[in-house]
Amino acid sequence: MAPLLSSKSNAIMIKPKGTGDIMKGDLVAYQSNEAGGLVVHRVIEIGNDEQGWFAVTKGDNAAANDPEKVRFGQIKQVVVGILY
């Protein structure tokens, strides 16, 4: 997520209580099934399908969206501030 986040910055994060705490444009830390670990990317779309609520995410410098739909249960934190 450079240059927004780097090894010299600190993110202030909160645990979302529900899907209403997550908006398009937010940075979220989620457990990725594809990457096998924690990913911090921006929410670019929110929707609902037969499995319920989901977010589409993308790194600010990535050419394409992340390959998986992120479900609320995967989201661990939402960035609410950054200290440099």
**Residue 73, helix vs strand vs coil:** helix
Model confidence at 15: pLDDT above 90 = yes
Residue 70 covered by a domain? yes
pLDDT of residue 2: 60
Model confidence at 3: pLDDT above 80 = no
Residue 4 covered by a domain? no
Residue 5 covered by a domain? no
Strands (E), 1-84: 10-14, 27-32, 37-49, 52-58, 75-83
Domain that holds residue 30: 10-83
Q: Once rounded to an integer, what is the mean pLDDT over residues 15-20?
A: 98
Residue 26 covered by a domain? yes
**Token pair of 34 as six digits:** 């594809």
**CATH label of the domain that carries residue 32:** 2.30.30
Domain count, the chain: 1
For residue range 30-78, what is the model confidence (pLDDT) as tens digits? 999 888 899 999 999 999 999 999 999 999 999 999 999 999 999 999 9
